[in-house]
Structure 1
């Protein structure tokens, strides 16, 4: 991902799984769920993404808060958890996820180097606003962009165009960072200078090995990668 010879209009981040820990909601209530808490969290995330893709593929739409609730219902039922109060608490916790420890320092360093920062997310505007405020990231972002006005989800090309429209630039002037390999693939295909944040050191997938996508294990590596 060569970046030093071309102006970067903005560094744009995915939110869920990149800046925000999607498993923090279940972690806060793991004692109430029991030994299957990790499996519940994993299935919740899997179904959340799966539903968003199916909706977009069929030309339908429900906002991300509804998708998240439907996915949680299935994850809890699959593991035999029937607790309406717990379900509500988990959904509330999802709206106030913890930021990864490296998120705020990286955003601050990028802004200190003169780069604009933004989120481009499947989240609907209300849940995104609540999440970035609760995580303490709001002052470190120049824009928070939601798919909601388009009524479709990533990796639709129209979603990535929200960033180029917002910053009035070409795709190669955006550095895009995602902890989700499928999202990094979609962004790279759109033309962004893409960085896949591979926190868990999982094998490369979604054809990222064929694309000019940088790979990092922590957001602490990002300012040095992008700084002029």
Structure 2
């Protein structure tokens, strides 16, 4: 059966990890009862600050492991949402190392490999946190490579970060389909020359019209449809 576009032009499919394969809000959801009514707001602040710190450091020409930014972002979120007991901090960080994969992820990865495509992660996450997350989600056997931006010393959307995928996989950038739930990440992937597919899990409006995805799907279930 022929692969749908743009997979018919791809030799490899590379995924962002956090928010795309792994549910970044599952850490807070596991401890929502202990956190109380501010659980959703805390999770959203934590995620936003985690990303914001990566962007600011990249613009400043600086770098820190993504786990460090994850800790700093949680500390900010706890300071902002004063009604949350700071005693949950250790539990939340432990949960973040073992986030839930979205339910369709293992099956999608396996179908891609059966179709002859290589599969990989390219993530802002540092090597240790990615290894822990992939093991916890049981995805090791479904991936040909798990790539952290650590060797580039900068975060996505830097071209140096995206370049790690073709270098490691030995596949030309225009033969790599890149999937992310983050529209800014898709913009970076488009600028770099990947085949960008936006996984718009939450129905967000489009932006960055000059750096458009080649396809938009609501979940990975739609990738091979």
| TM-score normalised over the length of structure 1 | 0.93
SS of the equivalent of 2:163 reads helix
SS of the equivalent of 1:189 reads helix
CA distance in structure 2 between the aligned counterparts of 1:213 and 1:158, rounded to whole angstroms? 22
Q: In the alignment, what sits opposite 2:220?
A: 219
Matches within 5 A, 1:24-173: 24-81=26-83, 83-173=85-175
Kindly provide the CA deviation profile for residues 37-85 of structure 1, in whole angstroms up to 9, marking residues without a partner as x. Answer: 0000000000000000001110111100000000000001101056453
CA distance in structure 2 between the aligned counterparts of 1:170 and 1:178, rounded to whole angstroms? 19
Let me know the Cα RMSD of the aligned residues: 1.5
CA distance in structure 1 between the aligned counterparts of 2:75 and 2:68, rounded to whole angstroms? 11
Q: Against the structure 1 CA distance between its residues 17 and 108, is the aligned structure 2 distance closer, same or farther, given a 3 Å change threshold?
A: same
| TM-score normalised over the length of structure 2 | 0.94
The answer (yes or no) to whether the contact 1:216–1:222 under 8 Å persists in 2 is yes
CA distance in structure 2 between the aligned counterparts of 1:127 and 1:186, rounded to whole angstroms? 23
SS of the equivalent of 2:224 reads helix
Following superposition, the deviation at residue 202 of structure 1 comes to: 1.1
Query: Which structure 2 segments of 5+ residues have no match?
Result: none
Deviates more, 1:117-126 or 1:83-92: 83-92
SS of the equivalent of 1:12 reads strand
Runs of 4+ in 1 over 2 A off after TM superposition: 1-6, 81-85, 210-213
Corresponding pairs, count: 222
From 8, 18, 21, give the equivalent of 2:20.
18
Kindly provide the CA deviation profile for residues 108-160 of structure 1, in whole angstroms up to 9, marking residues without a partner as x. Answer: 11011111100000000010000011011111000000001121100001111
Q: In the alignment, what sits opposite 1:181?
A: 183
The answer (yes or no) to whether the contact 1:9–1:167 under 8 Å persists in 2 is no
Q: Against the structure 1 CA distance between its residues 93 and 212, is the aligned structure 2 distance closer, same or farther, given a 3 Å change threshold?
A: closer
Q: In the alignment, what sits opposite 1:190?
A: 192
CA distance in structure 2 between the aligned counterparts of 1:150 and 1:218, rounded to whole angstroms? 29
Query: Which structure 1 segments of 5+ residues have no match?
Result: none
Deviates more, 1:117-126 or 1:78-87: 78-87
